[in-house]
Each structure stands twice: as structure tokens, then as C-alpha cells.
Amino acid sequence: MFLSVFDIFKIGVGPSSSHTMGPMNAAARFMDDLRSGIFMGVSAQQVRRVSCALHGSLAFTGKGHATDRAVILGLIGITPDKLDPDEAEGLEARIREEKHIEPDGFERLRFNPDEDLVFDYGPPLPGHANGMKLFAYGEGNPILASATYYSIGGGFIVTASELDEQISHDPKDLHKEQAAAGYPYPFGSAAEMLEMGAKSGLTIAEMKQANEEVELSREALLSGLDRLWHTMRAVIDRGLEKEGELPGGLYVKRRAKAIRERLIADRGNNQPMPHQVNDWLSLYAMAVNEENAAGGRVVTAPTNGASGVIPSVLRYYRDQCPGSSDEGIRTFLLTAAAIGGLIKHNASISGAEAGCQAEVGSAAAMAAGGLCAALGGSNEQIENAAEIALEHHLGMTCDPVKGLVQVPCIERNGLGAIKAVSAASLSLHGDGTHFMPLDNCIKTMWETGKDMGEKYKETSLGGLAVNLPEC
């Protein structure tokens, strides 16, 4: 399987790629499959009612992540890339009041979210922590069709059978599969990536671009990369202008605008603190994640929960690094996508599967490698930068308070951006040789995630999520 830069970076909506975008995509896919007749002997015209059961982490933190709203909207055919966040609440309220939906190609269907959208707090489904089942019923309420979907992080969804295929698939086969499909640089590991770069004389970004151009024209690729950056920058700008409390009941206040005003005021000082560059990095990341927490439009990078790290480091590169350019932005994104693809293929980018090390840790590794590349680092220095950033997120749990992507997620993105820049800088001061290869670090992250207790993997049953202020 080839993961495009546009698979790793997707324009969608908050607050979560795995708990909002994934379930929305799954619900929409279920309705599409019913329309297409994929369920043998079942036609869309026979369906009279639909229901959904959420399991595992989708149940435990679903309300905080707006999973219920996502399923409701997906059932009427809305997908994250088409949703207007300002319309979401109204659409949900109407369906809850009317207790039916009217998707294209169907008769009016009974769907009462209070009864037909079940949060099952029992054991998770066997395939993944983020599991959900969808059902279609006929006249008289017999089950006509059902399907199990897993939201595996970053907005990606798979059916139970597709997940079984992935589990049985040997990651080492990726090289052969991509080569057979015509990709000129089919690396499935960082070691293969470095070897191919040495043989070809190409950078990681150039190899990634060559692979992308098997399916896309150069014009489409470059315009798509520019759109990603422009969207990320617009999200930062929106976040820097908003005030008020974030939704969900924690009464967390947006801070980005006020912090920015103080930083601008401090510029008038004769000797501003040198560490203020870190404040700007944190600010940009927090602006994005405040937008994400409010359900606004963001870019998965590689997930929504970690969506502030890469935009922050990109903004730092473009606004504060001498010699930065639009070409450097593209190099950054292509390199970051190559690293993110390696992590997803060989481990996970899902907090429910491997903790926040898989989300903010992966984002920091991608940002570190991307920045190193944009600043002229060698392939070996890029791999070193990614490894440094990921290594120093190992063991990080995912323990969102009240299931909301707010505490500790917003500040955690700021610290992830700072670590990414530090990792890139350290690598650029070396020659790329280092002790721990990126591949080994990715393997360690995956093994750590599997050993991590379930209460620390996006269930809000442990960690900060249960150690709350008493006042």
C-alpha cells in the first residue's frame, strides 16, 4: 500500500481524526455500500431504519470527541472534507428532533440518536480500540445488513476484513508491492529510504515526489501541497483571532489571541527574552489546537489531536528562518509525509492504539525531519532529526480530560513543536551519524504502545483524566 502525502495530510474537521473524522467516514461508507448493493440481496429501497454501536475508545471518549454528531452527519452523506463546521450543530439538532434521516437514494429512514446510537462501554471489539458496528433494518425491523469498521487513526477507516488483511500483512513486503506497482522508490523502512537516497543521489523529498507523480501530475501535486500549507496557515490565523471558552464543559479558555498580543507588546522591549521563539512556536500550535477543539477545520498532521505541531514548525520556518521559500515548504511537507508513512506502516499514529507518543510523537518526528530538510539537511541528518524527536516522546500516554481534545492536548502540541525544532537543530549540528536508528525507535514506540495499559490509551480512565482539581 502506498501512502500519499494527501493520505497523511487531509483537510477535515475537529476535534479528532480517529473519533470524529473516522466515524463520519465509516457511517458515510456504510450508506454508500448499501446504495451500491455490496450487501448481497439488499437494496437501498428495502432499508427502513439504521443504527450504530460504538465500542472501546469510541464509546468511552466519544461524547467528548463529538463522535455521535460525526455518525449522524455521516449517515446523511456528509464527509469531513465537505462539512461546513458552522452548520454541524444545526444539522445534528434537526435530526435529533425529527428522529429520522433522508439520505440520497433511500426512503425516509427511522433513526433516533437517543436509541439508535449506542455507546457500548463493555470490552472493545477484538480488532482495534476504535471499533463501531452499523446496522440496516427492513420493514418489521429485521436486520438486513451489518458491518464492522475500525477507525485506525488519522481519519483512516477499515472494515474488519480489511483490518485482518493488514494484520496478516508483513511490513517487509511493502518494498516488493510498491515496486510491482511502478513506484520508483518503494521504501518501507528508514534504512531502505537512506539506501535508495544514497544510490540515486536524491533527497527524501525528491524520492517522495517521484513516487507521488506515478499517480499525480506535477502540477496537481505542487498545487495540492500549496493548498495544504495555505489551509494550515489560515487555521493558525483563525485561532489567533478567536476568544471565549471552548465547548465541552471544562470551561477552558482560548489563550492564543491574548498570548500573541503580549508577545507583540514585548517586541518593544530593548532586550526581549531569547526564549520567546519557543513562545511563538507554542502559540502557533495552540492556535491550531484551539480551533480543532472547537470543531473547526484543520489538517490532520498526521492526526487532529496532533494537528498543531507541523503547522507551527512550518510557520516558524516561513516567518523566522532566513532563506525560507515556498519550495522549502513543499520539501518540508513531502519529507514529513515520507516519515509519517513509515511510522504508520510500521507502528501506529492512533492514540487509542499506542498512546499520545503515536500522535504528538509522530507529528514531532515528521516536523523535525521536514524542517531539517527545508534547511538543507542531508538524508542522514533528516533521519536523525526524526529519530531524536520520536525518541523523546516515547511512553507518552493519551489521557484527555473528559474525553475532550483540550487538556493536556493543546499545550502538548506546543511542546511537541519546540521538541521538533530542537531535534532538527541538533541533527544539523552533526553529520547524520547516530546510535539509535529511526526504524528501531519506531519499533520501540509500537512495542511500548502495545504494553501500555488501556486506561492510558484514549479512554479517559487513567492519568490526568482522573486526577482532576477538587474545586
Distance CA 13, CA 427 (A): 34
Q: How confident is the model at residue 267 (pLDDT cuts 50, 70, 90)?
A: confident
Does residue 467 register a pLDDT over 70? yes
- Cell numbers for 70: 460525526
3-class secondary-structure state, position 271: coil
Does residue 172 register a pLDDT over 80? no
3-state secondary structure 101-124: ECCCCCCCEECCHHHHEEECCCCC
Q: How confident is the model at residue 171 (pLDDT cuts 50, 70, 90)?
A: low
Residue 292 contacts residue 80 (beta carbons within 8 Å): no
Beta-bridge partners for 117: 52
- The reported pLDDT for the residue numbered 165 is 84
Mean pLDDT of the chain: 95
Does residue 471 register a pLDDT over 60? no
Convert the pLDDT of each residue in 31-49 to its tens digit. 999 999 999 989 999 999 9
Q: How confident is the model at residue 269 (pLDDT cuts 50, 70, 90)?
A: confident
pLDDT cut 90: percent of the chain above it: 89
Residue 293 contacts residue 246 (beta carbons within 8 Å): yes
Positive or negative, the CA dihedral 17, 23, 27, 32 is: positive
More confident residue, 179 or 412: 412
Does residue 270 register a pLDDT over 80? no
* Among candidate residues 393, 396, 455, the one with its CA nearest the CA of residue 423: 393
Residue 309 contacts residue 344 (beta carbons within 8 Å): no
Does residue 176 register a pLDDT over 80? no
Convert the pLDDT of each residue in 381-415 to its tens digit. 999 999 999 999 999 999 999 999 999 999 999 99
Residue 30 contacts residue 94 (beta carbons within 8 Å): no
Domains of the chain: 17-167 (3.30.1330.90), 182-465 (1.10.4100)
Question: What would the mean pLDDT of 321-325 be, rounded to a whole number?
Answer: 96
Convert the pLDDT of each residue in 345-379 to its tens digit. 999 999 999 999 999 999 999 999 999 999 999 99
- The reported pLDDT for the residue numbered 187 is 96
Residue 23's φ and ψ, nearest 5 degrees, are -60, -35
Question: What would the mean pLDDT of 246-275 be, rounded to a whole number?
Answer: 89
Convert the pLDDT of each residue in 78-120 to its tens digit. 999 889 888 999 999 999 999 999 999 999 999 999 999 999 9
Distance CA 378, CA 396 (A): 29
Distance CA 36, CA 334 (A): 35
Distance CA 129, CA 116 (A): 21
More confident residue, 62 or 266: 62
Q: How confident is the model at residue 169 (pLDDT cuts 50, 70, 90)?
A: low
Residue 26 contacts residue 149 (beta carbons within 8 Å): yes
Could you tell me where the DSSP H helices lie in 77-159?
85-98, 113-116
- The reported pLDDT for the residue numbered 272 is 73
Convert the pLDDT of each residue in 205-231 to its tens digit. 999 999 999 999 999 999 999 999 999
